Structure 1
Amino acid sequence: MSQEQDFDEFYLGSVRRVTAQLVAMLGDPVEAEDAVQEAYARAWQRWDSVSRMDDPVAWVRLVAYRIKVSSWRSAVRRTVAHRRHGPPPDVPDLSPDSVALVTALRGIPEAQRRAIVLYHLAGLTVEQVAAEVGAPVGTVKARLSRGRAALAQVLSESKDGDLKGRPSYA
């Protein structure tokens, strides 16, 4: 039996039971389902070791529970910080130029968009961008060049009224 088939059999044979148990523990079906799905995703990522455990279902159940506990702790920390520091200061409205730029950035491929934002908006050097995105310097330079050209085209289209606020993922 392949690893995928083995995991599928494990998942199908246990997911309803684990979900029901987490619903009973947490009291919220939506939170339980989210935590259980995340736990199964983590089990799949470690299936070589999880499948050899005495009780893989117990591992999934424990991971799902810990996911929710961690989520609760984060929510408590946010609440305490909010009480201590108050609400965040008002964020000024975005200018029409900023909105147009973000809309245009959505219209270019993700790798080019990321390179342009890191280089032009975050102020990183080409070498720093390359290190952050895990690409060679030459690739980053090409992405910047192609991204600028694509961005110019998207911006000119938006001036002509062709963009209509919808990203294109060419």
Structure 2
Amino acid sequence: MDAAFDLDELYTASYRRLVVQLFALCGDMADAEDAVQEAFVVALRKRRRVAAATNPEAWVRTVAVNRLRSGWRRASMVRRHQPRVPGPQAAVEVGPEHVAIVTALAQLDPDQREVVVLHHLADLGTAQIAAELGLPEGTVKSRLARGRARLADLLDEREEPRHA
């Protein structure tokens, strides 16, 4: 295919057709749509390969079908091993304080959020976090300090003003 390859045109021309084809394969519209969407995400990342393909739509379809097959393998593995997993536990109750903390955590930088959660919720020390994430311990400590400071600010903003 030449340099004038347009992924947007491919998407417009083939999205519906691909979804219908994958729906016929899997019998689940949401799975079919997800597989086609993910295939187009891969196509964005690998635009040159798609452009060089003899049939770009077939290339995208192959990626989408492989995504479905991967999902089937995962589901098969879960079905095979699930009987050995203990049954459900009582529902986890989430109070307003927990919701406020999770909302504040969502506003942290992902790297900071990860170390704050591992330290405070998984009860890991900085050395354990560093080993688990493959980071220097100093990096973990600085992310933890910045994350805590930002979290404190976010949670203070949520408190109602006190009246004198």
Q: Same fold judged by TM-score > 0.5? A: yes
SS in 2 for 1:107: helix
Cα displacement (A) at 1:75: 1.5
The aligned length equals: 156
Deviation (angstroms), 1:39:
1.0
Match of 2:89 in 1: 90
* Partner Cα distance (1:138, 1:127) in 2: 12
Of 104, 107, 117 in structure 1, the residue corresponding to residue 101 of structure 2 is 104
Using the alignment, how far apart are the partners of 1:12 and 1:133 within structure 2?
A: 42
TM-aligned CA deviation for residue 138 of structure 1: 5.8
Aligned to 1:63: 63
Check whether the contact 2:126–2:140 (CA below 8 A) recurs between aligned residues.
no
Gaps of 5+ in 2: none
Q: What is the aligned partner in structure 2 of residue 21 from structure 1?
A: 21
Do the aligned partners of residues 40 and 78 (structure 1) sit closer, same or farther apart at CA in structure 2, a change above 3 Å counting? same
Per the TM alignment, residue 17 of structure 1 is displaced from its structure 2 partner at its CA by 2.0
In structure 2, what residue type is equivalent to 1:132?
L
Cα deviations by residue, 1:115-152 (Å, 9 ceiling, x for unpaired): 22234444243695498386x76654443223222333
Asked if 2 retains the 8 angstrom alpha-carbon contact of 1:129 and 1:140, the reply is yes
Q: Secondary structure at the match of 1:90?
A: coil
| Kept after mapping to 2: 8 A contact 1:23/1:32 | yes
Q: Helix, strand or coil: the match of 2:79?
A: helix
| Equivalent residue, structure 2, for 1:165 | none
Paired-residue identity, %: 38
Bigger RCO of structures 1 and 2 (CA < 8 A, at least 6 apart): 1
What is the CA-CA distance between 1:51 and the residue it aligns to?
1.4
Q: TM-score, normalised by structure 2?
A: 0.70
User: Cα deviation per residue 1:29-75 (whole Å; 9 max; x = unaligned)?
Assistant: 22211111111111111111121011221121122112112212211
**Which sections of structure 1, spanning at least 5 residues, go unmatched?**
163-170
In structure 2, C-alpha distance between the alignment counterparts of 1:95 and 1:13, rounded to whole Å: 46
8 Å contact from structure 2 (residues 126, 137) kept in 1: no
State the Cα RMSD in Å: 3.4
Q: Alignment partner of 2:43: what SS?
A: helix
Q: 1:2 to 1:55 in 2, by over 3 A?
A: closer
